[in-house]
Each structure stands twice: as C-alpha cells, then as structure tokens.
Amino acid sequence: MSAGREDDGGTVMTSTRRTDRHRPRVFRDRRDAGRVLAGLLTEYRGRDDVVVLGLARGGVPVAAEVAARLGAPLDAVIVRKLGAPGHQEFAVGALAAGGRLVLNDDVLADLRIPAAQLRAITDRETRELTRRENAYRGGRPALPVAGKVVILVDDGVATGASMAVAAQLPRAAGAARLVIAVPTGPASMHRRFRGIADDIVCASSPEPFLAVGQSYSDFTQVGDGEVRRLLGTAIDPA
C-alpha cells in the first residue's frame, strides 16, 4: 500500500489497510490484538523516528505490544469521552489535553442537550483528564513528537470521537506523519479519518459492526495501575 502524502494543494492523501474483508477476526485480548496489529506495521520496525501513542486506558496495552515489537518508545494520550446524560453509551464528543474538543453534533441535536449541561459534562471530564495525566506520567513530560512518525493506537474505534480529538495532538505538536492503527473498527472509519491521517491500519472490520468488544474474547476494563506499569516499562527514547 502506498504511503499517505500531500497533493499539490496541501491535502493529506491517506492510504488504508484492512486484512479481513471476508472473515472478521476475534482477538484473545488486547495484547493479542497488539501483536496482530504490529504485524501490519512492520515497515516502521527498527526506525529511530517512530513514536507509538496509546489512547488511555484501553489502547495502552495494545500500543505497548506494538511499541515493543517495533522497537519504538511508548507514551499515552489521555482522552475523555463525553457521555450523554442518562445515555453514557452515546458519545456526544471527546476531550483531550489543552482543551481540545470534538463534538458529535448529530447526537447533541438528537438528544437536545442544553449548552449548560454540556459545559458541566466538559468541566467534569476536564478534571478527570488532568487527574489521569498526573497519575499516569508521575510528572514526566510527554514524549516529543515533532518531526516524528506517530503511530496512534487504540483498542478499537466505534464513533471515532476519541480518535478524532487524539489525532489533533500530534499534528499540533509537529508530527511529520500520522498513522492511525486499531485492531477493530467499522468500515466507515476509513472515510472518517481520510485526510486526517497519512495511513490508516485496521486489522478487522466486522459487518455489521456493533461494538469494539465484539472483536475480543476478553475485553476486561484496563485499570490505572496497568497503564502506569506499561508506561513505566516502555522503551526509554534516551
């Protein structure tokens, strides 16, 4: 598959890869998913310009396997989903560091969420995001990504809100190339992120796509302690 590139107008030309057009894959757990995903990213193995970022919490175990197999440093991106009041399964948007926000206007309109209520949700999740930033890194700064190839990993994509806001961070920090890599997601994710990422890698796209968890035998929630442990044992870029 050819690499993503910019056309003469500066628009990102995105390449996409998936491996199971006829038979969706079920992973044993997030580590297994990471091993499979790393096998689709071998072109980035052993390079000193690659950084792997996992969306905390669920994406970090997947990203840790990818980083270990590529020989790349690992860090976390902390993103908070903004769940609709009384309907937490519906994401009205997502929030990342620096106040970066992506909203799902269709869900907001359908549920008629007042602006004041949306602000309250955003304020609450901002506090939780700050807590997790401090807890996961223990005061360490985020890995520098300027001029780097950033592989942004999650355990899967559903609505895409969390990944969309997470993708803003490496771009804003000067990443030279952005790769979105997930074990599972709907076929529509390729359209969603086309023009945002240079390369999109998805190992499995079940049809119909119901939820990320349908692609895992073990989809146990990831705790803060596991995230801290994985970040603490990751490859030191120094």
Q: CA nearest 34: which of 178, 230, 192, 232?
A: 230
Checking DSSP bridges between strand 149-153 and strand 50-56, what pairing results, if any? parallel
- Under 8 Å CB-to-CB from 205, ≥6 apart: which residues? 18, 20, 21, 24, 184, 185, 186, 187, 189
**What is the rounded CA–CA span in Å between residue 71 and residue 94?**
30
Q: Is the per-residue pLDDT at 128 higher than 60?
A: yes
Contact 184, 156 (CB under 8 A): yes
pLDDT at 1: 35
Cis amide leading into 229 (omega within 30):
no
For residue 223, what are its two tokens?
């705790």
User: Which domains, and CATH codes, for the chain?
Assistant: 5-80+141-232 (3.40.50.2020)
**CA 224 to mean position of chain CA atoms:** 17
What is the structure's pLDDT at 21? 52
Provide the 3-class DSSP secondary structure of residue 32: helix
Q: How far apart are CA 165 and CA 58, in angstroms?
A: 16
Q: Tell me, what amino acid is at 105? A: D
pTM of structure = 0.83
Give the rounded distance of the alpha carbon of 171 from its chain centre: 14
Both tokens of 183, joined, read 């074990």
Kindly give, in sequence order, each residue whose CB lies less than 8 Å from that of residue 113, ignoring residues fewer than 6 positions away: 84, 85, 92
User: With bands split at pLDDT 50, 70 and 90, how would you rate the model's confidence at 156?
Assistant: very high
162-215 residue pLDDT tens: 899 899 899 989 999 999 999 999 999 989 898 899 999 999 999 899 999 999
